[in-house]
Chain A
Amino acid sequence: MATVSGNMKGFYRQKKNAITKKSSNKSPINAATLGSVAAQTPAHAGSPDLEDEHKASEVVLRQFDMNMAYGPCIGITRLARWERALRLGLNPPQEIETLLKSGKVQAESLWDGCI
Chain B
Amino acid sequence: MERVQCSYHSEDEAFKIGKETYRGQQYSQIYFARLHLMRTLLYSLVPHWKPNFPVCTVLGLEEGKECVIVGTLYKHMKLKPCILDEYSKERSVVPLVKSHNFMHPDDHLVLEDESGRVKLSGNPISPSEYVTGNVVALLGKESGAGDFLVLEVLDAGLPPQIEFPLKSREDKYVVIVSGLSVGSSNSNPLQVQLLIDHITGHLGDEKEQTIASQITHVVFAGNSVEIPRRLLNGQNSTSKDLSRMAESIKELDILLSQIAAGLTLDIMPGPSDPSNFSLPQQPLHRCLFPGSSQYNTFRSCTNPHCFELDNVRFLGTSGQNIDDLEKYSDAKDKLEFMERTLRWRHVAPTAPNTLGCYPYTDRDPFFIESCPHVYFVGNQDKYETRVIKGSEGQLVRLICVPKFSETGVAIMLNLRDLECHTLSFGTQLSS
Contact = CB atoms under 8 A, between A and B. Distances in A.
A76 B24 CA distance: 8
Contacts of A114: none
Interface of B: 23-26, 28-29, 32-33, 36-37, 40, 114-115, 361-362
Nearest to A72: B28
Interface in A75-97: 75-77, 80, 84, 87-90
B29 A72 contact: yes
B267 to A, nearest CB: 33
Contacts, number: 39
Contact of A75 (B28, B37, B40): B28
A68 B114 contact: yes
B24 A75 contact: yes
A88 to B, nearest CB: 6
B23 A69 contact: no
A75 B23 contact: yes
12 contacts: A71-B29, A71-B33, A72-B28, A72-B32, A74-B26, A74-B28, A75-B25, A75-B28, A76-B23, A80-B361, A84-B33, A88-B33
B36 A71 contact: yes
B362 A84 contact: yes
Nearest to A75: B25
Contacts of B36: 71, 88, 90
Contact of B29 (A68, A69, A75): A75
B114 A76 contact: no
Given A71-B36, A84-B361, A88-B36, A76 B29 contact: yes
B25 A76 contact: yes
Given A68-B115, A69-B114, A88 B362 contact: yes
Contacts of A68: 114-115
B23 A77 contact: yes
A87 B362 CA distance: 9
Contacts of A75: 23-26, 28-29, 361
A78 to B, nearest CB: 12
Contacts of A88: 33, 36-37, 362
A89 B362 CA distance: 12
A87 B361 CA distance: 12
Nearest to A84: B362
Contacts of B40: 89
A68 B112 CA distance: 13
Interface in A27-65: none
